[in-house]
Structures are given as structure tokens and as C-alpha cells.
Chains A and B, each alone.
Chain A
Amino acid sequence: MSDYDAIIIGAGLGGLSTGSIIAKNGMKVLVLEQSDIIGGCCSTFENQGYKFDVGASIVELIRPLEILFEKMGKDIKDYVDLIPCDPIYSFITPEGKRFKIPTDIDATNEVVKAMAPEDYENWLKFEEFGMWLLHYGLDAMICADMSTFSSALKVVAKYPKVYKMLPTLAMNHEMAVKKAFSNKDLLSSVSFQSFFAGAPPFLGSGVFGMIALSEHLGIYYPRGGMKGIPDGIMKAGQESGMEVRTNTKVERILLEGRDAKGVVLDDGTEITSDIVVSNVNGKVTYLKMIGPDALPKWAFKGVTSYMNSMPCPMLYVGLDTKPNLNAHHTIVTGSVEFMNEVWTKYYTQGLIPENAMSLICWPTEADPSLAPEGHHVLNWICNAPAPYSPLGDNWDRIKDWYKEQGLKELEKYVLPDARDHVTLIDVSTPLDFERRLLHPEGGIYGLFSDLTSLAMFRMSNKSRAIKDLYLSGASTHFGGGVPTSVASGITTADIIMKDHG
């Protein structure tokens, strides 16, 4: 007789989502989290009276969250207070041009008409196809198990029109947008989102081009910080009996042959369970918590073939004045070609560019309670993407240099007298993310997302190598990002209930 029906390793969004649903369905569930806070990349910590988000800075495509709470027979509004953010973002070009993209699609059409009249007709077509794809594709696939050819075929049979998205899926992000537009600023504004999926425009799939449109379905910030989302899911799960232990590190997965039987903690304690769900990065799960010797040869080859997603250092800034910003998100970047060059000439060569892409998040605009009165918080990805191993150096040594780069950008784009107003500046480097969140090489989106690592070619939610082992989170199908991590958790829960319910 096992101690639990299911043990979930990692209280990230995927793990909590799986745990909550299967607990609601009567399973005895224990969630183990190595950190003192839950949520993984979607979390919030406090420093000197300021609340900073660890990584994730917004939630879009809230449908998976709604589905999750529906599956628990609850209303998301009773658990997570989501504040709508408008505009979606403000955009700053290298020439210093600034424009805002409103949430309302008709208002955005007017912005596009003024910015790129030559592309306006194509914009309307792009928008029509993108919105269809988002509604139809999301319904069809967002929480669907497509980890095998047969399960994917079942989805296609149920939603036959998904074939219409195949050309967009097959081409790269750059081709998808360049096919439609020629205006440099418009192209930039629909290209940088490829990095939200962890790849430059020339490597990401064309479907990532739809991220620009998905935000028009609404973007939200949880009151109290991004941790509000995992907190809400945990609360709902606990009401169904789900148990959560923080500061509890799992050392390895307990095996009998190739059958998962529980976990071993770092103090040697063994906890047994009928099934194990790992929300930890799939590579860490298979290579460290199970070990290469316990894996079939083909599984070892498969696991080690995946590229990690890109790391992103994150600056956390406290200000004693209001920043000169006008949106929750501000993007600073150049042309599509520039984004690709940053990847090939800098990132892959181990170099940190001094003038690349920045994503400035201003959460106190939505929720002033995150900072002392009159103060503000900025979470800032500065000059991304940045390599895990800077050439001839390491992140522990260049932390202060990176903060200085951030201050220079702050002076340039946000506050000319920034140094007089910064009360706190801290940084999470790729090494910090690797240590705290167990993301290999600090890759914040789990595994690299290209056409060859999606759906049935991404790590399966139900392990094919180890019996009674399931996976959720960023490195699995769906994975990467708030809505998709939640979707991966739902998919895993559905498979578990089919197998064990």
C-alpha cells in the first residue's frame, strides 16, 4: 500500500494544475516543492518592501486557466483576481519612435493604418486568419493530448479544419510575417513575440506569429503579483485535499525496474506512491532524478537530443518615482534582421549584446500595492537573449556589469535621472534560474520550441520510458509560458484519470 496515490514533484503551474484536478477526482495527492515559494517561474518574491515577479510577467490566453477551474467545479474569479491591462504594450524602435498597441483590435487597426498604410489590407487578412486560428486552433488543441500520432490524428478527425494551419506551422515566424507585411516597424511589432516562445524569428514556427494577435483576446495581471495564479490553483487543490510541502527537495525518483514507485528526498526519506508526476524540467527528471543507467537506450538518445530553450537574465528594479512608461509592457527592439543577428552573431557565440531587445515590465501600473506608496517596481529583461555561458566569463562574476547595463538602458528609455531614483536593483542570472528553478542552462521555456520539438516530438506527458511516470510543465507538450504550462498540467491530469481514474 503506497503512502499516496500520486506524488507531484515541483509546485509550478503544470504540477499544481495536475495535482488539483486529480485530487478533485478523489486521488490522494502530495506536491513537493524544493523552494520556499510555489509557482516556479510564475511567482513573486519580496525584497525591501517591493514585490518582484520571478519571471512570468503577464497572463494571456486565459482559457486554459478557466478550463482548469471548471474541471474543479469552481469559478476562477473566486481564486485569482485578474486585472485587465490595456494597452498590450508600448513599442520603442531604435530610432526612438514610440507607439502603443491597444487591446481593442479595432483600435489596433487604426494604429496599423497610420503606421503602415501600405500593409493595412494585408493586416486585416492576417488578423482574420489569426483570430480564426486562435479560436478554432485553441479549442482543438490547447489541452489536447497529441503526444502520439494516433492521439494527434484523433484531434485532426474531430477538428478537420486544423489542416488550414499547416502551412503557417511549417514556415518560420519570419516568413509568416514577411509574407504579409513590408513595413519595418509593423514587421518588428509582430516578430519579437517569437522570443516569447524562446526562439528568434528565423527559427520559431510561423504559428508563433499569432502570439501578437492572441494578446488582443486580453492580457491580465494577477493582483498581488504573478504568484496570485499558483496561489489560487493551490487553494482550489487544497480544498480537494491536495497536500503541498515547500522546502522539500526530491533527490531522485524511486524505481522498481522501470516502474516509478515514489520519491527519495535529499534527507534520505522515501515516500511511496502509485504514480509520480514530475513538473521539473524533463531533462533533469530523466537524467538526474532517474539516471541514464535506468533509461532505455532510445529514451536516453531522445532526452539528450533536445536543445534547451534560451535563458533570460532578469533585472528587478525598485524606484522612488513614477517611471516614464505608458504600458504594462514596453518593448525595445530593432528590425527582424536585427533580432536574427542578435541570435546568430551574439547569443550563439556566447556574447551579450549591448543594445539588443529589452522587455520592461511595469507591474505597479496595474497593482500599486506591489511597492511602498509612491514607489514603483520594474521587472526587466535587458538585452535579451543572453547566453548561459558568456564567452570567457561567468554570470556570478558579471552580475554587477549586467546591472550597470540595465541602469544605462533605464536612463536611455525610462528615466534620464534614473540613478537618483533607483532604490534597489537586483538580478536573476541564467545560473540563478538553473539553481532555483532546475532549468538546465537557465532555459526559462523548458526545451527549445521548434517544429521538431512540438506535439508528439516534445517530451510526452505520459512517459514512454518509465511506467507510472507522468510529466507536466514547460518541457512537455504543451509547455512554455503561463497558459501552456497550465494546459500541460490539464493534459497530464486527463491522461492520468484515463489510466487510473
Chain B
Amino acid sequence: MKSAKKLFLLVAVAAMAAGWFTLNESTRRYIVHLAKQVPSLPYRYFV
């Protein structure tokens, strides 16, 4: 069971990495920008 989980995780990471490299630069920068803001969201929600 544990190894199946690991395999699933590995496949998911590989798929995400492959997907990432198919994105154009503008989309990547957009996603990176949003990702950087995500940690602030819980705090923003309470202002």
C-alpha cells in the first residue's frame, strides 16, 4: 500500500513537472506570482 502511494506521488509530481514545462513563460510567471501570494491569504481573509 505504501509503495503504491509513493508511486502515485511520483507519477503526480512527474506529471506536474511535465505540465509545467509545456506552459509558456507568461503563464509560469503568473502561477509563480500567485503561489508567492498564497501564504498571505489566511491573513488577508481576516483584515
Contact = CB atoms under 8 A, between A and B. Distances in A.
Interface of A: 172, 174-175, 201-203, 282, 286, 298-299, 301-303, 305-306, 340, 344, 450-453, 456-460, 463-465
Contact of A172 (B27, B40, B46, B47): B27
A298 B44 CA distance: 8
Nearest to A173: B30
Contact of B46 (A175, A201, A202, A465): A465
A450 B34 contact: yes
Interface in B20-47: 26-27, 29-30, 33-34, 37-38, 40-47
Q: Is the contact region of chain B dominated by helix, strand, or loop, or is it mixed?
A: helix
Given A172-B27, A450-B34, A460 B47 contact: yes
Nearest to B28: A202
Given A450-B33, A450-B37, A175 B27 contact: yes
B47 A202 contact: no
Interface residues of B, number: 16
Contacts of A201: 26
A174 B26 CA distance: 8
Contacts of A457: 41, 44-45
Given A203-B33, A464-B46, A301 B26 contact: no
A28 to B, nearest CB: 28
A306 B36 CA distance: 12
A202 B30 CA distance: 6
A294 B18 CA distance: 48
Contacts of A340: 26
B26 A465 contact: no
Contacts of A456: 45
A122 to B, nearest CB: 19
A465 B44 contact: no
A362 to B, nearest CB: 33
Give the residue among A302, A450, A460 with the most B Cβ atoms within 10 A. A302
A270 B45 CA distance: 31
B41 to A, nearest CB: 6
A452 to B, nearest CB: 4
12 contacts: A202-B29, A203-B30, A203-B33, A298-B46, A302-B46, A302-B47, A303-B47, A305-B40, A452-B37, A452-B44, A464-B47, A465-B46
